[in-house]
Structures are given as C-alpha cells and as structure tokens.
Structure 1
Amino acid sequence: MNDERMETKGILPLLVEFSVPAIIGMLVNAIYNVVDRMFIGNAPNLGAVGIAGITISYPITLVLMAISLMVGVGGATRFSISLGKKEKEKACIYQGNAIILTIIFGLLFTIFGNIFINPILKILGASNTVMPYASDYLSIVLFGAVFQCIAMCGNNFSRAQGNPKNAMISQLIGAGFNILFDYILIMQLHMGMQGAAIATIGGQFLSMIWQLFYLCSNRSLIKLDIEHLKLKYDYALDIIKTGIPAFLMQMANSVLNFILNSTLGKYGGDIAISAVGIITSFQTICQMPLTGLM
C-alpha cells in the first residue's frame, strides 16, 4: 500500500521518488509553453503581435493557476493530514469536495471571464492592435478553465496518495498533445491564435481525463466516489483556508506580470511586450524544475 510505503521508507528516498517526477513534469510544461510561443512567433500573420497577445493574457492564466493551486494544495494537504490520522472517511470527503470546488471555480471563471473579456484585456494593457489576438486566444482558453483546475487538483492528489509518477504522466500527456496540435493547427491548418488555444485546452482536457480515471479506479489509494462529491461547507472552507498561501504566491506572480506588461506597453509598445514574453518563456524553463522540489 502507498500509505505504508510513506510511513516506512526513508526521507531521502521518498524525496527523490517524489521530486524527480515533479521536476520532469514541470520541465515538460515549461517546454511546451516555449513551443507555444515558438509556433506563434513563426506563424504567418502572427509573429510578434501574436506573442504579445499571449503575453497580455498570461496574468489571467496565472489567476486560474492560483485558484487551481488553492484548491489542489489545500485539498491535498487536508487529505494527507486525514490519512495520517487514519481518518479515511474525512480524506474521501476532502478529495471529493476539492473536485467539486474546482468545477465550481472553473465554471465561474469561464462565465465571468468571457463576459468581461474585453474590459479585462484593456485593463491588462492590450492595445487596439493586440486586442483581437489576445481575445481570440483567451476566449477559448477560458472554456478550458474546468479542465485545467481538475487536472492540477488531480496532480496534487496523485502526489498526496504517494503516486507522483501518475501526476508526471498526466502532464506529459497534456504537453505532448499541446505540442503536436500546436504544429497541426497553427502551422498546417493556419488557425492562428484560436489553434493555439484549442491545442492548449485539448491538452488540459486529456490531463483531466487521465486524472479522473485514476482517482475513480482501483489504483487510487482513496477511490473517488459520487457520494463524496456533495459539497460540505466546513470541509470546503478548510480546503480554501489551507490553500490560501499557495493562492497568494501565484497571485503575486500574476500581479507582477500585469504591472510589467502595463509598463512595457506604455513605454515600449507591443514589441516590448512580445520581447518580455519570449524572455519569460526561457525563464520558466529554469524556474519550473525548481518548483518540482517545493
């Protein structure tokens, strides 16, 4: 059993066992972000303005990641504490409530994001030139909010159950699909920003399906049951309170990107935003593996 292994195995072997798959998964995610920009930057009629569109939209993506981390980290932490106390029923409820919370937050993000998409992009610093590119991309990506939330939440619970390799496989599947369909949709079918967005949410959808199949299967340490998907406010509140630090850390990153984009847009224009988008991509490759150790 995974829980017995967690109790008996040495700390250093466990650290290696958990951190290596996480580092690989994060590195793959970083690479496919770079590939996104690479295809867009080299696509006909996109180039720098297309990269600027993604860069302007990036703070919104980070907000969604912050919400996903809040629920995923908060839920997985409460789940682990309950398992440590041998309170299996509580662990089941925390897992189910985390999934429901991700669905609720994801749907709200999709609805309100699309209603206010143009004002949001204006606030984020989108110029009249960049606006249609950013809107084409973000409007589709927002429809994948639930996919991303559940996939990230599932990754956290896979690790909490002592199966970090499952989280890594989920990320590899999503990234592989994204890279392949970026090439097909952008370079071959010339679908532009919409093609990039479809490839992104397609990868997130597959990652979500992989995690749901795992959590609902007998391979899962705590099998996800429908009866545990009923929202219980005290459990939901525990999850949110525990996940707030992770949420605030990611939100700080979003605010930083917003300020950077706004400043660059004001003093350097769209080309400056494109440049920082490229730089950020390579910076992510360096930072993401370190995130796997956290």
Structure 2
Amino acid sequence: MNRLNELDSLPINKLLLKYSIPSVLSLIISSMYIIIDRIFIGNISGIGPIALVGIGMTIPITTILLSLSALIAVGAATNISISLGQGNKEQANAMLNNAITMSFIIGVLFTVLYFLFQNPILQFFRISGEALPYAKDFINIIIIGSIFSIQNFLFPNLIRAEGNPKFAAILTVMGCILNIFLDVIFINILNFGIKGAATATVISQFITVIIGFFYFTKGKSSLHFSKNELIPKLSIIKPMILIGAVPFLNQMAVSLSQIFSNYSLNLYGGQMYIGAMAVISSVISFPLMLANGIGQANQTIVGYNYAKGQYDRAFKTFILSIVYSFIILLIGTIFIEIFPVFFIKLFTKDPTFMDITTKGIKLYSMLIPLSSICIISGGLFMVTRKVKTAIMFLLSRQCIIFPVVLYFLPKLMGTSGLWLSQSIADLLSAFIIIILFLKNYKHLLTSVPGFTKPI
C-alpha cells in the first residue's frame, strides 16, 4: 500500500500504532544523546557531581538550541504532511529544501552570536562558581556543532513527514549507538572528561546528518534535494515559521522557566540542587519522549486527514493519542515513584547528591501524566491552524503558570516546593487546555460524522 494512501485508509488504531512506534523510538533515542552523556559525566571519577551541576547550568542554552531546531523541523515537517495530504508534492519538495537552507543559516548565526557575546551570555544564565569551567568546556563544543545539532533534529522529522517513519527511527538509533561508542572512547579511554562527552555528541550528530542528506539525494524518498530550491522563498518560509513558531516559543518558554528554576534551586538549596534537577529531567525525559512520540505520530496523521477534510479520522486519532500517552506517563510515574534510587544510581553514587535527587524526583513526577493533555492538544492546534491559541497556551504555561507557582511554593514549603512546582503547574495547565479545546472544537465534536462511534 502506498505510504500516503494508508494515512487515509488504514484503521486508526493500526495507523497510530504504526506511526507511533518509530516516532517513539526516534525520540527516545534522541533523548538518549543527553541521558547517556549525563550518565558518563556523572560517573567521571572525582568530578562527577560538580560536572553534573555544570551541565545543569547550561540546560537553558541547549534548550534554546532545541527551540531553533523545532522552529525549522516541526514547521517544515507539518507543512510537508499537509502539502502531501493536499496532493501538492511540488510545495512539499520546496519546503524540504528551504528547511535545509534555513537550518544551516540559523546554525551559523547561533554559533557566531554565542562566541561574540559569550561572557555576557554566561552571566545572564548565572553560570558561575566552581561549576563554571565544566559548563564552559561542555557548552562551547556543543555550540561549535550547532549546525549539526539542528540538522540532526531536522532530517528525521523530514523523513518521517514524507512517509518513512521506519528509516527516520533507524537513522536516530544509529546516531545514538555511535554516540555511546564515542563516549567510551573519549571519556573512558582517552580521559577527555566532559569535553569528550560533548565531542562525542557533535561527531555522532554530524554523521547522522550526512546519512540523512544522502537519503534525499540518493535514496528512495518521495521528496528530493534540489539545488534550484535551496534559495529561501518567503512564500515557503512563512508557513514553516508560522507552525514552527509554536514549538519554538514553547521551548523558548521552557528555557525561560529553566532559568527561573535554576535561580530558585540555587537560592533555596544551592548549586547541588541544579545538578539534581539535571538528573531528574533526564529520568523524566524517558516517559515524556514516549508521549511526545505519540504526539508526533498524531500530528502526521491528523495533519494529513484534516487537510483532506476527513475530520472523523483526525479527531479519533486525537482522542486515542491522549489516552495512550496518559497511560504511558502513568506507568512511567509509577516506576519512578517505586524505584527512584535505581534510576539515580545510573548517574551518580554520591550520597549527598542521591539524597537530594531521590526526594526531588518523587515530588517532581507526581502529576506528570497530566502532561499528556498538553502534549497532544498543542499538536492539534498546530496542524489545524490554531496557531495563536497554541502560542497563547504554551506561553502562559511556561512563562506565567510555572514561574508563579515556583515563586510561591518554595516560600510556603521550602525545598519541597521547588520539586512540587512542576506537578502543580501541570495540573493547572491541564484545566486550561481542556477549556481551550472545548472553546475551539466543541462544534466539531457534534458535527463530525461517526465521531462518537466506536473506533
């Protein structure tokens, strides 16, 4: 069956499973780049805990890099899915090539601006103290590889959007395996320390980018690299930016909330709490990547079917995506609550560090399953062109709800309030997204043929 035809003909359960598995695998492996680096770094003899603090301090910067990646990758991939759904292959191909160009331009600008204003940037993010040298050693190398980082995020999304989620997952798995291999060489054998972890990441990303590029030049893709379409065109870039603006602003808002979080962690607990948060976010990222993988599959299926006017299939996919992602996050939370020490020991065996992190992760993960509502709904708003609504919600969640909760809870509960802030913010955000959904789609729920029938 043709890959595009199956998007509007396969049963929803089977289709969502088919597209979710490679998407989930791809995102898990993507997150493994970060997790594996932190595991290796945390276990470096003599400096592991303080090196993790340095990594924690740089997280807002790497999140900004991720936001730029999402701006291009998600914007381009979503528009490609929509264009293919409308039968406009020429538009989809132009989007592919413009995305490649824009990823290169943004990567170069990001690198140049960082090194021109390095000291003010480090001061702004409050990267200082004993952890400063480790933070600089790590982030400088990551920034040098910005182009590869952005395109490493881009190519799997493009490949998935044009209808080959399996190869997108294979490409990401290859990169992760290579990253592990290089971590062993640079950290354990050559003793490059934290610089070795960053170097391993950049090299592995570079190689996966080369493979992704050849997929669109020599592979059996339905879209192809074309020199004539590399020159950016406003008519192509504009829809890319409009949709990509949602995940971009979301990640920028996340970066801002991470700055607030690092400040509060340092204020109420000390720098060791920043390192603990780096470990907590790494552990939590695993079930969250599972949910986000379902979200990516949801966007591809919903975007294609919504564009073709098949609203019943689009909304059935949406509901199943929320149910599946909620169950996955619930299972993940149960495991974290029962076996927190097992996960934390992967990163460090320092007693003080473990005590702080164990208490933190149990409080931090309590209401994570509610994130499923926000993850899936944000994607729905994007592919149905409710961009303003999506942006309003995402900004309010990260820049208003979480900072306000983070400001008041520690004052009332001390360090426990630091860890509970995310759970409370997720609870409040879930209520808001339900209201926004009913406001924007209630009329469709009653007008879509067969929507209330069993799937």
Query: Residues 10-67 of structure 1: CA distance to partner in whole angstroms, max 9, x if unpaired?
Result: 3322211110011112222333422211211111342111111111111111111111
Report the alpha carbon displacement of residue 265 of structure 1 after superposing the two structures with TM.
2.2
Q: Point out the structure with max Rg over C-alpha.
A: 2
Aligned equivalents of 2:145 and 2:242: distance in 1?
25
Name the residue aligned to 1:280.
281
Query: Residues 181-208 of structure 1: CA distance to partner in whole angstroms, max 9, x if unpaired?
Result: 1122112211112111101111211221
Aligned equivalents of 1:258 and 1:87: distance in 2?
42
Name the residue aligned to 2:80.
79
Name the residue aligned to 1:89.
90
Aligned equivalents of 1:40 and 1:249: distance in 2?
28
Query: Residues 125-151 of structure 1: CA distance to partner in whole angstroms, max 9, x if unpaired?
Result: 212311111111111101111112112
Residues 174, 202 of structure 1: 8 Å contact kept: no
Name the residue aligned to 2:189.
188
Aligned equivalents of 1:31 and 1:19: distance in 2?
18
* Structure 1 unmatched runs, 5+: none
Residues 121, 134 of structure 1: 8 Å contact kept: no
Name the residue aligned to 2:306.
none
Query: Residues 251-275 of structure 1: CA distance to partner in whole angstroms, max 9, x if unpaired?
Result: 2222221211122223332212111
Report the alpha carbon displacement of residue 86 of structure 1 after superposing the two structures with TM.
2.0
Name the residue aligned to 2:44.
43
Local SS of the residue matching 2:145 = helix
Deviates further, 94-103 or 37-46: 37-46
Name the residue aligned to 1:31.
32
Rate the CA distance shift 1:34–1:150 in 2: closer, same or farther, 3 A.
Answer: closer
Query: Residues 58-107 of structure 1: CA distance to partner in whole angstroms, max 9, x if unpaired?
Result: 11111111111111111112222222222222111111111111111111
Give the alignment of 1:59-74 within 5 angstroms: 59-74=60-75
Identical positions, percent: 35
AA in 1 matched with 2:44: A
* Structure 2 unmatched runs, 5+: 296-455
Residues 33, 201 of structure 2: 8 Å contact kept: no
Name the residue aligned to 1:147.
148
Highest relative contact order (Cα 8 Å, sep 6+), 1 or 2? 1
Give the alignment of 1:1-294 within 5 angstroms: 1-294=2-295
Aligned equivalents of 2:183 and 2:146: distance in 1?
19
Aligned equivalents of 1:28 and 1:50: distance in 2?
23
> Taking structure 2 as the reference length, what is the TM-score of the superposition?
0.62
The root-mean-square deviation of aligned C-alpha atoms, in Å, is 1.6
Aligned equivalents of 2:192 and 2:55: distance in 1?
15
Aligned equivalents of 2:257 and 2:237: distance in 1?
29
Aligned equivalents of 2:169 and 2:219: distance in 1?
19
